[in-house]
């Protein structure tokens, strides 16, 4: 062998070795997994609904987080991809499984444990936005032995939904929900017993919503210092304005961009003095509206984002600020319970805009109904399927009975001629409701005025669309909440009021 031939063999051997290592690295990348985060193993509680969230699972590294993070895991487009949760099972038993998933109809999902497997197929249907999010009950029971076990999820044919342009780059998984068969009847009964009738909301047909508070501004100039705007607000003038539209209810933002509550709630004062008002604006609004046959409900945001309030309200055991911190939950329950007990039947409902999942929804539901069991409750699920069955009404952010993302207007009902309750799909069992921006600011869509010198824009919805909305809402018994911008002194846009009045005239057959 010559020196040149030997050199060629050395180079060839190096290239073959390099190529082999490269293939191995590529293969390892394809099978690489992200480890389970949080509790490991996750302890299952037979007395409640157990959430196995997608973003805490051990999973294939090729799967992707939602943006913003924490909502779901997407890019589920390869049969080799898997999700796995290590769980601690207190006693052997069978569990029902619900899959919260987005994907193309016909997509199959296999849920397995060492003791067996069950399967589900994503059905036809869709949601308001064309994402085909759904909460799908899996037929059969998943068997789990006592001790540590592993639950897995995979799909032989994962595909994204065409109606959202495959925006998730395949299927997307929120979670699996497991309920022990031994306790399922008891849990289902607790859900039924927690429900309040929202028939009055459907009969009202429409209402007004206002994101007005400490953050607000007048049409021009600087805003008043807290709580001067509360002290100066003309309740009777406001109630007359609402009555002129024919609206049956008002959704009033107790908090939103900042956490200042327009009533003397002591649970808030104990946390941070100065964040309430001496004037009970909530009580006065409720009484003035009631005299006109109009109900009052509250929109509530926990104050996440208001840094000073947040620093007092959250403890240190919730690094990701997802609402699991014990101090936060204790404060949350104390505040909402006190509000409920204070107003009783004068407060007809709550719309909770947090979206944290999972949350202690059953406990929250009890607190929100303190003082009046008939009070209706809704938790904001955004574009996702319902986050809990311990609620009464669809939150409906952005839904106005004109959305057509699914290729058909009401992909999952509620059916024409029914009672306005969804009989299938992501909001099954809930009263149908939508809340949406009617006018917005001069710079674009906006829920509330929080900048100086804001111009209220004319409604982006045409008169023809208003009429169509009214006809669709009436046929399907959907209650619609029109969000109007309102200045510090209670002034709203005359054009917005005219649009609401046209809606009212149409639904009443005028």
- CA-wise closest residue to 480 among 496, 466, 493: 466
Q: Say which residues have a Cβ less than 8 Å from residue 39's Cβ, sequence separation at least 6.
A: none
Q: What is the rounded distance in angstroms from the CA atom of residue 205 to the CA atom of residue 245?
A: 12
- 180-187 mean pLDDT: 98
Task: Provide the pLDDT for residue 21.
Answer: 37
320: number of Cβ within 10 Å: 11
> DSSP secondary-structure letter at 81?
-
Listed residue (104, 155, 137) closest to 407, CA to CA: 104
- When computed from its CA atoms, the radius of gyration of the chain, rounded to whole angstroms, is 26
Residue 150's CB is within 10 A of a number of other CB atoms, namely: 15
Q: How does pLDDT run across 465-489, given as a tens digit for each residue?
A: 999 999 999 999 999 999 999 999 9
> CA-to-CA distance for 249 and 209, rounded, in angstroms?
9
Integer Cα distance of 192 and 187 in angstroms: 9
pLDDT at 30 over 50: no
Return the HEC string of 152-214: EEECCCCCCCHHHCCCCCCEEEEEEEEEEHHHHHHHHHHHHHHCCCCHHHHHHCEEEEECCCC
Q: What average pLDDT score do residues 35-46 get?
A: 95
Do 455 and 441 contact (CB within 8 A), yes or no? yes
* Predicted local distance difference test score (pLDDT) of residue 393: 98
3-state secondary structure 38-59: CCCCEECCCCCCEEEEHHHCEE
**467 contacts: CB under 8 Å, gap ≥ 6:** 502, 506
Encode pLDDT of 417-445 as tens digits. 899 999 999 999 999 999 999 998 888 89
Mean pLDDT in residue range 61-65: 97
* Model pLDDT for residues 369-406, shown as the tens digit of each residue: 999 999 999 999 999 999 999 999 999 999 999 866 66
Residue bearing the bigger pLDDT, 92 or 410: 92
Q: 487 preceded by cis ω (within 30°)? A: no
pLDDT tens-digit map of 249-273: 999 999 999 999 999 999 999 999 9
DSSP code per residue over 305-356: T-HHHHHHH--SS-TT-SS--HHHHHHHHHHHHHHHHHHGGG--EEEE----
Instruction: Please tell me whether the overall predicted TM-score, pTM, comes out greater than 0.85 for this model.
Output: yes
Looking at every residue in the chain, the average pLDDT score rounds to 91
User: pLDDT-derived band of residue 27, with 50, 70 and 90 as boundaries?
Assistant: very low
Q: How many CB atoms lie within 10 A of CB 316?
A: 7
Whether 318 shows a pLDDT value over 80: the answer reads: no
Structural contact between residues 102 and 172, judged by C-beta atoms closer than 8 angstroms:
yes
Residue 53 C-alpha from the chain's centroid: 15
Please report the pLDDT score of residue 325 as a whole number. Answer: 80
- Cβ atoms within 10 Å of 382's Cβ, excluding its own: 14
């Amino acid at each position: 062998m010559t020196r040149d031939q030997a050199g060629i063999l050395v180079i060839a051997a190096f290239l073959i070795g390099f190529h082999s290592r490269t293939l191995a690295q590529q293969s390892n990348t394809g099978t690489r997994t992200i480890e389970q985060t949080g509790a490991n193993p996750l302890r299952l509680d037979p007395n409640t609904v157990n959430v196995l969230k997608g973003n805490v699972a051990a999973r294939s590294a090729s799967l992707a987080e939602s943006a913003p993070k924490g909502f779901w895991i997407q890019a589920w487009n390869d049969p080799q991809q898997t999700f796995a949760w290590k769980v601690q099972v207190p006693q052997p038993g069978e569990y029902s499984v619900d899959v919260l998933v987005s994907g193309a109809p016909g997509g199959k999902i296999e849920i397995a444990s060492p003791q067996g497997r069950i399967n589900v197929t994503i059905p036809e249907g869709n949601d308001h936005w064309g994402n085909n999010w759904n909460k799908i009950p899996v037929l059969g029971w998943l068997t789990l032995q006592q001790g540590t076990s592993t639950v897995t999820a995979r799909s032989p044919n994962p595909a994204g939904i065409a109606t959202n342009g495959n925006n998730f780059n395949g299927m997307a998984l929120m979670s699996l929900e497991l309920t022990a068969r031994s306790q399922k009847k008891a849990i289902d009964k607790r859900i039924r017993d927690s429900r309040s009738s929202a028939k009055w909301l459907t009969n009202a047909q429409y209402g007004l919503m206002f994101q007005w508070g400490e953050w607000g501004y007048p049409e021009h100039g600087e805003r008043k210092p807290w709580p001067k705007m509360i002290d100066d607000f003309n309740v009777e003038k406001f109630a007359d304005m609402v009555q002129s539209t024919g609206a049956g209810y008002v959704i009033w933002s107790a908090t939103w961009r900042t956490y200042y509550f327009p009533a003397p709630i002591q649970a808030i004062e104990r946390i941070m003095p100065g964040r309430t008002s001496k004037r009970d604006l909530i009580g006065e609004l409720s009484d003035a509206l009631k005299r006109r046959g109009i109900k009052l409900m509250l929109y509530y945001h926990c104050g996440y984002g208001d840094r000073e309030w947040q620093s007092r309200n959250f403890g240190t055991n919730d690094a990701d600020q997802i609402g699991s911190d014990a101090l936060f939950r204790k404060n949350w329950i104390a505040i909402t319970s006190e509000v409920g007990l204070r107003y009783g039947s004068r407060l007809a409902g709550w719309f909770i805009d947090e979206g944290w999942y999972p949350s202690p929804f059953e406990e929250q539901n009890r607190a929100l109904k303190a003082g009046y069991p008939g009070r209706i409750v809704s938790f904001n699920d955004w574009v996702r399927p319902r986050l809990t069955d311990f609620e009464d009404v669809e939150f409906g952010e952005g839904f106005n009975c004109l959305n057509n993302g699914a290729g058909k207007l009401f992909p999952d009902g509620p059916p024409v001629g029914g009672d306005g309750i969804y009989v299938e799909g992501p909001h099954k069992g809930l009263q149908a409701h939508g809340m949406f921006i009617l006018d917005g600011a001069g710079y674009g869509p906006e829920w509330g005025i929080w900048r100086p010198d804001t111009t209220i824009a004319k409604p982006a919805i045409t008169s023809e669309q208003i009429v169509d909305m009214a006809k669709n809402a009436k046929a399907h018994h959907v209650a619609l909440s029109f969000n109007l911008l309102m200045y510090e002194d209670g002034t709203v846009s005359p054009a917005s009021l005219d649009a609401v009045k046209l809606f009212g005239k149409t639904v009443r057959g005028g």
